[in-house]
Amino acid sequence: MSARGTQYRETFPREKTYLMKRAMKTLSCLALAFALLLSALSGWLGWQAAPSMLHLPRREFTAADRAAAAAFFSRRGAVLEEFTVRAPDGAALRGWKIRAEASSGDWVLLFHGQGDNRTGMEGYAALLLATGYNVVMMDSRAHGASGGDISTYGWKEREDSRAVVSALESAEHVRHLFALGESMGASIALQAAGADPRIEAVVAEAPFRNLREAAYDYAGLHWSPLLGKTLFFPGAWAVIRRGERDAGFSARETSPEKSVAARAFPVLLICDEADVVLPCRHSESLYAAARGPKTLWEVPGASHTAALGVAPQEFQRRILSFFASAIPAPQAQAQPLHGQEVKKLQVIR
């Protein structure tokens, strides 16, 4: 074999290896540039989208909604009464007090989800009214018929809840007071109970752990929070940062996790197995942080806030059992003083 042929065979593999390495380096640079571009774009989009997270699309509460609800509750022997409460910042919070036909004297505050209004909680209300619980169904601030320009995911809403409880106790004999919420409403219910010991126990379906962690899920396009913590982190950061700036609240303190750790109260956490909006890791973290009696129920096959529809009998059994267990025994010796009872005691003294 000639020396020239041998040299050709030796040179060609070296050139091929060099070209492959160069191509890989070029592709790596392009991939990095694309990732940086996506990351920067997510930051810009997050900054632009932040106002829409505060000014949510409002599901209006109409006269037709009112008429349908009145008929719905009338068929169940319940009495519906308009209930308007003034929030600490002056916003008008509108909703209903609904008394069960055979009232036990216990009340449950119902908290609806993001972009919904009080009518979204009718199924829960029917379940509770049938077993003697009275319910309060309010439109959250900036939702339905309530006032307020922005939603703050619990920052202002927990004080709104305190005002609602005070107004309820000034007008009704409240034997025991509980709360039940879904999604954003579940997160608000937990924060409200953390700040107000008059709320004795909470059922929370699909709550978020804290606002920052929820932002990672949204920035991760409900596919993986890891995307929101890495590639799309600028988007999550921008949403939170602009939200804090525009609304004047602390995302760090908008935290159901801190609420359940600050005050020991009974919680039933419901996570939906197929939930991609607020996955079970949020409820699992809340369960780990909770100081009071706690239960975590993972509902097989359920998507976001679908537990009642997927497992109605089990849902009813668990909810009613949980509220019953949260009432101190014996009742006659351990009932908390609420509203009018406190006033009567003061008069006697």
- Using one digit for the tens of pLDDT, what is the confidence trace for 51-91? 556 566 788 889 999 999 999 999 999 999 999 999 999 99
Total residues belonging to the chain: 349
Q: Are 229 and 216 in contact (CB under 8 A)?
A: yes
Backbone angles phi, psi at 144, to 5 degrees: 55, -130
- Identify the CATH number of the domain in which residue 323 sits: 3.40.50.1820
Distance, first Cα to last Cα, the chain: 118
Range of 10-19, 171-180, 331-340 with top mean pLDDT: 171-180
* Cross-strand bridge partners of residue 98: 80, 135
Residue 40 lies in a domain: no
Residue 20 lies in a domain: no
pLDDT band at 212 (very low <50, low <70, confident <90, very high): confident
Grouping H, G, I as helix, E, B as strand and the rest as coil, residue 271 is strand
**What confidence score (pLDDT) does residue 57 get?**
78
Residue 16 lies in a domain: no
Our count of domains for the chain comes to 1
Residue 41 pLDDT greater than 80, yes or no: no
Between residues 9 and 319, the one the model is more confident about? 319
Residue 48 lies in a domain: no
Nearest to 96 by CA among 155, 145, 156, 159: 145
pLDDT band at 5 (very low <50, low <70, confident <90, very high): low
Residue 15 lies in a domain: no
Q: Are 174 and 339 in contact (CB under 8 A)?
A: yes
> Range with the lowest mean pLDDT among 1-10, 11-20, 259-268?
1-10
Q: Where are the alpha helices (DSSP H) in 211-326?
A: 211-219, 225-229, 233-247, 256-262, 280-289, 307-310, 312-326
pLDDT band at 251 (very low <50, low <70, confident <90, very high): confident
Residue 182 pLDDT greater than 60, yes or no: yes
Please give the radius of gyration of the chain, using alpha carbons only, rounded to the nearest integer. 26
Q: What is the mean pLDDT of the chain?
A: 82
Residues 314-340: tens digit of each pLDDT: 999 999 999 999 987 654 333 444 544
Q: Are 167 and 85 in contact (CB under 8 A)?
A: yes
**What confidence score (pLDDT) does residue 230 get?**
57
Backbone angles phi, psi at 147, to 5 degrees: -80, -170
Residues 291-307: tens digit of each pLDDT: 999 999 999 999 999 99
Segments forming the whole domain that contains residue 251: 63-348
Residue 177 lies in a domain: yes
With residue 283 as reference, give the H or E element that holds it. Answer: helix 280-289
| CA–CA dist 44, 162 (Å, integer) | 37
Beta strands in 235-349 (DSSP E): 267-272, 294-299
pLDDT-above-70 percentage for the chain = 69
- CA distance readout (Å), 202 to 54, 125, 332: 25, 15, 22
**DSSP 3-state percent helix, strand, coil across the chain (nearest 5):** 50, 15, 35
Residues 154-166: tens digit of each pLDDT: 999 999 999 999 9
Residue 118 pLDDT greater than 70, yes or no: yes
| CA–CA dist 93, 160 (Å, integer) | 8
Residue 186 pLDDT greater than 80, yes or no: yes
Rounded to 5°, the CA angle 182-184-187 comes to: 85
| DSSP assigned state of 101 | T
Sign of the dihedral defined by the CA atoms of residues 212, 214, 218, 223, in that order? positive
Residue 3 lies in a domain: no
Encoded amino acid at 8, one letter: Y
Residue 313 lies in a domain: yes
What does pTM read for this prediction? 0.81
Q: Are 92 and 140 in contact (CB under 8 A)?
A: no
* Two structure tokens written together for 319: 């909810």
- CA distance readout (Å), 87 to 50, 141, 172, 181: 24, 9, 19, 19
